[in-house]
Amino acid sequence: MNGNSSILYTMGMALGRAHDLGYDVSVLVDGQWLHGRIAAEDGTGLVLEQESAAHSVVRLERVSAVTIHAESPYHQEITGARPMPGPRAG
């Protein structure tokens, strides 16, 4: 990507992609992280299956952050990258 391009990647897009591809997710709902795999979603809510034979039903309007446990679809190797400078001695 060049410096003039922009990316719009919403939580809804990320959750839809995770559902389609079977990725595990973590969603932050009212200050608590819920983890699992999306069993169903309809644009209003989602069903999140956990490994412990449990599931959660989550209203999407209550989700404030999403972590998809997979590489970003926008990940690309940066050529010519330099490490960030460390803290200045004072």
Regions of the chain short of the pLDDT cut 50: 1-2
pLDDT tens sequence across 40-66 = 999 899 999 998 899 999 999 999 999
What does the pLDDT read at residue 72?
A: 85
What does the pLDDT read at residue 1?
A: 46
What does the pLDDT read at residue 10?
A: 87
Q: What CA–CA distance (Å, rounded) separates 69 from 6? A: 23
Q: What CA–CA distance (Å, rounded) separates 9 from 73? A: 9
Class of domain 11-68: mainly beta
The owner of tokens 């034979």 is 53
User: DSSP secondary-structure letter at 54?
Assistant: -
For the chain, the structural domain boundaries read: 11-68
